[in-house]
A and B are shown apart, each in its own frame.
Chain A
Amino acid sequence: MDPDRTTSAIRGEIERLARRAGHDASGLADDDLIPATGLLDSTAILELIAWYEDHFGLEIPEEVLTIDNFGSIALMAAWAQEHM
């Protein structure tokens, strides 16, 4: 998948989940640490990962599901590009 489309898809889902909680995530930068922004609570972050696994057809082992691998849009996109 095109890297830009990967990034765009992840951003779209984050904005959708944030909007559901009454937040506007349109200003989120690709390198912003998502948990630190407060846009998504802990459950919404798990929903984001569940969507990510479905959307990209990936299974993420628990031990690699860390903030260092999935903490930002850029990190999530890079992991998807590498493992798809």
Chain B
Amino acid sequence: MSPSELGPVTCLGCGCGCDDLRVRVADGRITDLSPPCPVARAWFGDGRVPGAVRVNGRDASVQDALREAATVLAGAVGRALVVLAPDISVQAQGTALALADRLRAAVDSATSDAAAAGLLAAQRRGRAAATLGELRNRADAVLFWAVDPGPRYPRYQSRYAPDPVGTHVPEGRSGRTVISVSVGADRGPGSADVELVLAPDQEIPALSVMRAVALGNPLGELPAPLDAAAAIAGRLMKARYVAVVHEAEPGQQQARDRYRAEGLLGLANALNGPTRAALSSLRAGGNRNGAEAALTWQTGYPMAVSFEGGTPAYAPDRRALTGAEAMSAILVVGAAATVASALESAAAKVPVIVVGPRASEASLPARVAIDTGVAGIHEGGTAYRMDDVPLPLSPPLAEAGARSAAETIAALLEEVLARPERGTG
């Protein structure tokens, strides 16, 4: 088969959701892609995925595996955990939620604790945000708060801000002021116009000062570095449109202050008095935002939902992943590697079913493992960008023969529905 170049293709390697990739395919493998993003390269790989189906570690037919999985799950009504892991479409996630509803299961997802803290803070306070294109087109001041998007979100700066030309920023990067704030080991980008370095215990005071400045509250003389923080706030107030960018996923080196998300929401909100501002929360890929979207429209809650009582209940302070040992069955849909460590101890006691990419290679001792393709590489559907913009997936290896995750989860649902409904317990 001669090589072919396909595109545009949507990447779910990080939450940027770049949908402009060109992918080179030869002999059913991905051989190259452009632009050469390291995260995209790692996520696409060569596109090969295993196609195994296993029951108790032995090869099985899909039908037998689905029957076994349905038997396990149907016997665990009211005591099951359904985990929405990454790399499946929102359609697959939605079907898994139907299954969870039927099973009266608890539902957890790959929403990190750090991201969950941001969601909860936004529920308490609301939030001023924007889709990424608004930052691209309007932001003439970009404040990177304790994050350099480069390593985890390599194309954020070139696609969204501060580099591109926008409708209201015709000069591109030169028309924008970039402010880098570092907090302890969480460093901002190096090539900023203004830099501020804070010790971890100075972060919340600095955010409080900046919010007070934006609100026009009088402040006395401030010690360093709060005086510098106040000066930055003054500069932001003079901008036309401010983007406040922060990392919503876990830090690599230290736990961040639990009030950071709250403080940033408050700052972005306050800046909307004197100017316009939006908070941009950097989120990981794999369609995590899709899981939160589907959970919200189907249940009213973006994460940590339990159907155990017959209706969706919200328990964000008791994530089911950490209480999985009390369950009678665990179903993981999606790429299990992301959640395997959280389920490690439970999996030794509770039967686990995994349906998703590389299920057979997951470190979990699965009762049933059904390999599927990866949404965006082998199968289509919809995935959500970090700003909740839904994107169509245009899989470059749609013809490679990988099993569809969405169809397999739907078949599992049918298998469960075919069994008589039992009460809880």
A, B assembled together:
no
- Which A residues form the contact surface with B (CB < 8 A)? none
